[in-house]
A and B are shown apart, each in its own frame.
Chain A
Amino acid sequence: MIEWTNALVQGVLLGGLYALFAAGLSLIFGVMRLVNIAHGDLIVLAAYIGLSTTMILGVHPFVALLIVMPVMAGIGYALQRGLLNQALGDDILPPLLVTFGLSVIIQNALLEGYSADPQKLNGGVIETASISLGGLAVGILPLLTFAIAVAVIAVLQWVFYGTGLGRGFRAVSDNQEIAQLMGLNKAHVFGLAMALALGVTAIAGILLGVRTSFDPAIGGGRLIFGFEAVIIGGLGNLWGTLAGGVILGVAQTLGAKIDPGWQLLAGHVAFLVVLAVRPNGLFPRVEH
């Protein structure tokens, strides 16, 4: 029994990481209806930038975040203004294909620069440290990841509903033309949204790199996890995304408990079941 409880707790904490994968995806879709196929590769890119930073400066991966976050945010703003804004429009095909092309470019650029060898960020003692909770040994790193996920979503929620920037996000999301008439620069607002999303992606990438090894090819898988968390939780609901990540994480760890080969399969099956039973996700946003 204790083993199953353990798997359950691990799954919930793993869900925090998936929610971080998903938060950027959800944010961008919410603001500009863009589904970024390169999202997973951008997470991996953040992990690699973190790797270079720790190696060059000799700092802890978490300290490297001070550099990786602004770098990723800058990449996000430049990418949006320089490329993605041109692809946005009524037709869904251009953004889809442009981000798909971007995904292939990032993947192969990483392959060229860092080779296909798996890499890992060295987190030191935090990787193995654990605390005892009611007879369960819970790792500090998963616990910290989950806490960060909750904090990130709380901050995003606050930015969206409590700041002028968030008002701009909601305005362009509701009606781009009228937002433009009210003096908002749509291209700039979208750029800021992408910068914020990739800032979150930087956190996700560093936590991913400290938790497991990574290589240039794993981006697609991370995109799928994030996407599943978004759909399970319900489109446009950030706290729902956290719940979606937790459900996905729990399905995976319970699946792995039954048979190691079923870990990923169980997660996908959970997603398909939710899609069959509740196509709008478990917690769809209430329309005001």
Chain B
Amino acid sequence: MSAPAVTRATQASRLAMLVAAVALAMLALAPWWAGRADMRLMGEIYLYLSLACLWNLMAGYAGLVSVGQQAYVGFGGYMLFALTVFGGLHPIAAIVAAGGLAAVVSVPVATLIFRLKGAYFAIGTWVVAEVFRLSFAQVSALGGGSGSSLPVGIVRSLSSSRSGREALSYWLALGAAIVVIGTIYLFLRSRRGLALTAIRDSEAAASGLGIDIWRTKLEVYVVTSALTAVIGGLIFLQKLRISPDAAFSVNDWTAFVIFIVVIGGIGTLEGPIIGTLVFFAIRETLADFGTSYLMILGAVAIVVMLKAPKGIWGLIRDRYDLELFPLGYRVHHDGGDRKES
């Protein structure tokens, strides 16, 4: 009997990376082959995908179930407006700065709401989002409760032509999605990611192995908040108009995102990607039904949570032992294949 070999990558994961690379190259060239409406939709898909991956990192890996991520989406959006209009920054610089500011803000917020456990933490995050919404509604320079539009001069500073702006906005969304997924992938493969996976599987055991749980969760919260604010900035760079209700909408920025992750498969990297595709497929097919499409979405999420808690990707993975992002380790004995993730 030969010594068992340990590998991370599999044939499937190598193939997936190859397919992903080709698909990405195709998507990057979209401004030359896709129509205006398609590009807009794809841009929206990338931004929702990013939000879903970030929420999944918090809820699926760190056990921080938040229903208040709209706090940072709105914060990022408002920082884009404030820093460009009053700070004179270029929009892209403003969006990056918004991420940094969100990281700074998220530390005191975390020290406060980390005192709440489990589901109470979830509602605590919602309170924080409400505080953000009400506070920004008080700032009359940003339009108060009714909101404001991004001045034409700032929009022009991105690119003088409309098609140029649309292409840039598309690439920014695509780039953001790649950065978010890449960051999470590298984070999860690192030593810290291992600690996080240990916490996901058992907090008590992880703590016994010397992992500082509070600190690890704080790091995840801060990184997630910063990147969520960047995505928020990009969302409102596409919309060009912001108001407190739109910026801090629990339905738009949290409910949909949670449904995406739950349906796709929580606690996996592949889940949010599949969930986003399913979500947009449902939305584009049922959009004519108005509010009932939201009811269907809610019902699907409930059924998935109760009947298949690991989501669509969980079903596929269990059935075919697939892993597209090589995060776990596989031990091979005499040609046999056992997976430890």
Q: A-side interface residues toward B, CB under 8 Å?
A: 34-35, 37, 83, 86-87, 92-98, 100-105, 108-109, 111-112, 220-221, 223-224, 227-228, 231, 261-262, 264-265, 268-269, 271-272, 275-276, 279
Contact = CB atoms under 8 A, between A and B. Distances in A.
Contacts of B152: none
A105 B266 contact: no
A34 B119 CA distance: 8
B257 to A, nearest CB: 11
Contact of B292 (A35, A108, A220, A221): A108
Interface in B55-95: 59, 65, 67
Nearest to A34: B119
Nearest to A86: B306
Interface in B108-138: 112-113, 115-116, 118-120, 122-124, 126-127, 130-131, 134-135, 137-138
Given A37-B123, A108-B294, A92 B118 contact: yes
A272 B131 contact: yes
B134 A98 contact: no
Question: Which label, helix, strand, loop or mixed, suits the secondary structure of the B interface?
Answer: helix
Given A97-B258, A231-B116, A261 B301 contact: no
A96 B302 contact: no
Given A220-B126, A261-B138, A275-B112, A92 B119 contact: yes
Given A35-B122, A92-B119, A104-B297, A268 B292 contact: no
A97 B305 contact: yes
A272 B130 CA distance: 12
B146 interface: no
Contacts of A279: 115
Contacts of A34: 119
B298 A87 contact: no
Contact of B130 (A100, A112, A224, A231): A224
Contacts of A275: 112-113, 115-116, 124
Given A275-B115, A279-B115, A261 B120 contact: no
Contacts of A262: 138
27 contacts: A35-B118, A37-B67, A37-B119, A37-B123, A92-B65, A93-B59, A94-B305, A94-B309, A96-B118, A101-B259, A102-B298, A104-B251, A104-B298, A105-B299, A108-B292, A108-B294, A220-B250, A223-B123, A227-B123, A227-B127, A231-B116, A261-B137, A264-B130, A265-B131, A265-B134, A269-B131, A272-B127
B137 A102 contact: no
Contacts of B302: 83, 97-98, 101-102, 105
A92 B305 CA distance: 12
Interface of B: 59, 65, 67, 112-113, 115-116, 118-120, 122-124, 126-127, 130-131, 134-135, 137-138, 250-251, 255, 258-259, 262, 266, 290-292, 294-295, 297-299, 301-302, 305-306, 309
Given A108-B292, A111-B291, A264-B134, 5 more contacts: A37-B119, A104-B255, A104-B297, A108-B298, A220-B250
A240 to B, nearest CB: 15
Contacts of B131: 265, 268-269, 272
Nearest to A113: B291
A268 B134 contact: yes
A236 B8 CA distance: 48
Contacts of B116: 231, 275
B135 to A, nearest CB: 7
A37 B122 contact: yes
Contact of B255 (A96, A100, A272): A100
A254 B282 CA distance: 47
A93 B67 CA distance: 12
A37 B290 CA distance: 23
Nearest to B306: A86
Contact of B291 (A102, A112, A224, A271): A112
A268 B59 contact: no
Counting from the closest, the 4 A-B pairs by CB-CB distance are A35-B119, A104-B298, A101-B298, A108-B291
A285 to B, nearest CB: 15
Contacts of B301: 97, 101
B291 A100 contact: no
A94 B297 CA distance: 16
Nearest to B250: A220
Given A87-B306, A231-B116, A231-B120, A268 B298 contact: no
